[in-house]
Structure 1
Amino acid sequence: MPRPKTQSDEDVLEAAHRLIHAHGPEALTFERLSEACGLSGSTLVQRFKSKAALKQRTLLQAWDRLDGKTERLAAAAPRSPAGAIGLLVALSRDYGGIESYAEGLLVLREDLRDPLLRARGASWKASLGDVLDACFASTGSAPPDIGLLMASHWQGSLLWWSFDPTIEVAAYVEESLNRFVTAISARNP
């Protein structure tokens, strides 16, 4: 079968993202991506110039998708503590099982190594914190920076789940976040 002559960068970067998640960031080479997307290695080198640039563009596209998903979920979330829980549980569903979560930690390592990707993470943290703050604004008694506190608890619950993944990640996160909101509410009547 002949190779496709054209393919959008978005499609190529999606294939690169699947490759990274399936086999880790080090598996992303022009040769393996060529096999995954069907474009020649030389075409990929012409488009992306280097492995580092390819990896960065792949992960920037992943951040774009996460930002978009967070915005869509935030727009639909009721401005209440339950809405905040629902938003974070919905984001947790993307983690899948333990193997997928573990591979995701390798991708996070790549984000932390690159200043541009780190900045995208910081931006997402700020916008997520603002949305979560807004979910608690109606209670009138939430502690300052409740959004960041809740996001931190959420990330911690993902990590604790990963050590003993006996139930689905979203169920574990929902249970943990409900306990968090109960504890915050009891301390701030």
Structure 2
Amino acid sequence: MDQFNIFLIGFMGTGKTTIANCLSRKLDRKVVEMDQIISERAGMSISDIFKTYGEQHFRDLETGILVETQSCMPVIVSCGGGTPMRECNVREMRKNGRIVLLTAKPETILKRVKSNHDRPLLENNKNVAYIKELLEQRREKYEAAADLIIETDEKTADQICEEMLSRLRKDISEH
């Protein structure tokens, strides 16, 4: 498993950051938190980047970080929710990594993100119906990109990490 990066994809609130940190402790790997890096480099919040430069610019910054990960293996990359919507991003992740989709029910996502205000696509739409609609719009691309799909509802971070690592090891031994 030391030969590749692990890319965590999924909708906001599915646990990418939490799971990345858990995997980091278990595998002794660095975490690349895409949204945090973009925000730090821009000197502004994700919401402000969206407002000032638009979503397209933000997505371009995401692609740039994925390209950078090629030279700092092996790492765990916690991707922004929209990262796999771009085909070039999926190709970039596939070059040297396994893509793990974390999923959660809309109700679970709402509970996890309701007090967070740095989610520009959700800020004025924090309700189950809207989350369900956005999830549905992204589901096909998320699933097409994923090497593994892990449900996070009603599980601890440790349970999710153990399930993921055992499935990744099994996947590697079969190929």
TM-score, normalised with respect to structure 2: 0.35
More helix, by proportion: 1
TM-score, normalised with respect to structure 1: 0.33
Q: Answer with 1 or 2: which has the greater Rg.
A: 1
